[in-house]
Amino acid sequence: MSLIGKTSVRDNIRITEDSKYPVFRDLYTKQKKAVWFPEELNIQQDVLDYKSLSPTEKDLFDSAVGYFASSELLVQNVLGNGFFPVLTDPYAKMSFSTQMFMENIHSDFFEIILNSFDLDRKSIYDLTLEDDLLKEKQELIVRAVDKITYGKADPDTLEGKKQILTSILLNNIIQEGLFFYSAFAYFFAMKDMGKIKNVVSGVELILIDESLHLQNGIEAILTIVEENPEILDDYSFIERVKQSIVDSVDLELDYLKRKFGGTTIFGLSYKELELYMKYIADRRLVELGFDPQFNVLENPLKFLQKEDVKKLTNFFEVSSTEYTNF
């Protein structure tokens, strides 16, 4: 039995001690430990900050919230409707359904932001329809996933496997591992300037979650490839996989250029973000076994090193992200 295949509801309901894919057991445990709830963060404190943002800052914040708000449950749909039904391993199912659960938390968190900041729900959700580039970012995923949902892809055929692999690539690597990381950067820049700090504390928690989801995706893709080495014989398919990562970087850069072109917002310039996106994309490529395409060796956004080190919070001042629920 390989990681993906046709399954019935009776299958894969027993956990075994010697998991065939111990990596998914680990990822399940890590995600379990990372679980948090939006109520832990007192974002009410940020309302005054939000009101004092400049129009460009507000626009950036709103569109980031709008993009996340309409993407979290999309990610969940892709997994729930497309990928989960073809998973054959109990731990892999647990790992991916934990991810699906976490998307609820994120969605809930952005919902609380909408309410607390008194944002216009419709216009926030409509952002991904009205902004052509945001729309394209989402369509990219939707198009691929439409091909595999409701049994349209047969996981027992090579073609079906490739389609499923593509949808996970778009969902967990490109959406969660590239597009989301672009927004992380400017959220963190806000906190770096002392603004909207409690919302950003929540985004820090989302980053932890997303880096685990990214690992879910990478492990699934590598496992599918290893179990089906014939995929590797289709050079044009492999080329397309690589190209889709490169193309999404271009798409994201178009979007960033529109938002940041010629100015700095929260101390960030387009040129920095461009290098940053390329740096992140190289990491994704290398993680999948490709050679880096952009050769940006150092993360240009140096303030992000604050995310890489131990964190100490002044409890009286900012919501802490360091307690564990498990």
Partner 1 sequence: MERVVVKRDGTVEKFQMKKLIDAIFSLLDGLDIPDDYEIVFKIAKELDLKIPEKTSTENLDYLVLKAIEHLIPKSLVYDALATRQLLKIINRKIDREFSGFKDYIEYGIKEKLLKPDLKQFDLDLLESKIDYTRDFNLDYFGLSTLRDRYLMKDRNFQIIEKPQWFFMRVALGIGNNEAEVIKIYNKLSNLEYLHSTPTLFNSGTLTNQYSSCYVNVIDDSLESIMEKAREIAFLAKYAGGVGTDITRIRATGSKIHSLNAKSSGIVPFIKIFDSIINAIQQGGRRRSSQVVYLQPWHLDVEAFLDLRETTGNPYFRTPSLNTALWMPDEIMRRIKEGEPLYLFDPAECPELITAYGEKFKTLYSNCIEKAESGQLKLWKKIDSQDFYKRYLFKLAKTGHPWLTFKDRHNQYNPCPDYGVINSSNLCTEISIPNSLDSTAVCTLASVNLARHILESSKQIDWEKLKDTIDIMVVALDNILDKNFYPSEESKKNTYDLRPIGIGVMGFHEALIKLGIPYDSNESVELARQIMSFIKEAAYKKSEELAKERGPFPFYKESYPYPPRRNAVLLAIAPTASISIIAGTSSSIDGYFSNIFSRDTLSGKFIVVNKLLMKELEEKGLWNEELAEKIKAHGGSIQYIQELDSKINKSLYKTAYEISPYRQIDIATAFQEYVDQAVSKSLYIEEDLRDEMDKIYMYAWEKGLKSTYYCFIDKTVKGEKYTLAVNKRGERRGFGLSLEKAAKENSEETKACPTDPILAKLCSSCE
Q: Quote the least distance from Cβ 130 to partner 1, whole Å.
A: 26
Helix (H) or strand (E) holding 200: helix 197-227
Q: Which of 48, 55, 122, 150 is the binder for partner 1 (CB under 8 A)?
A: 48
- Site string (4-43) toward partner 1, x via CB under 8 A: --------------------------x--xx-xx-xx-x-
Q: Quote the least distance from Cβ 164 to partner 1, whole Å.
A: 16
118 binds partner 1 (CB under 8 A): no
- Strand pairing partners for 87? 4
Q: Which of 25, 137, 161, 195 is the binder for partner 1 (CB under 8 A)?
A: 195
Query: Which residue lies nearer to partner 1 by CB, 16 or 324?
Result: 324
- Site string (251-280) toward partner 1, x via CB under 8 A: -----------xxx--x-xxxx--x-----
- Site string (280-299) toward partner 1, x via CB under 8 A: ---x--xxxxxx------xx
Query: Which residue lies nearer to partner 1 by CB, 124 or 280?
Result: 280
Nearest by Cα to 213 from 251, 258, 172, 243: 172
Helix (H) or strand (E) holding 134: helix 132-146
Buried residues in 129-140 as b, exposed as e (16+ CB within 10 A): eebeebeebbeb
> Dihedral, CA atoms, 237, 254, 130, 165, nearest 10 degrees?
20
Other Cβ atoms closer than 10 A to 222:
14
User: DSSP assignment of 54-110, as one string?
Assistant: -HHHHHHHHHHHHHHHHHHHHHHHIIIIIIGGGB--HHHHHHHHHHHHHHHHHHHHH
- In whole angstroms, what is the distance from residue 66 CA to residue 127 CA? 6
- At position 149, the amino acid (one-letter code) is T
Q: Quote the least distance from Cβ 172 to partner 1, whole Å.
A: 13
Residues 297-326 that bind partner 1 (CB under 8 A): 298-300, 302-318, 320, 322-325
Residues 150-189 that bind partner 1 (CB under 8 A): 188
Q: How many residues bind partner 1 (CB under 8 A)?
A: 79
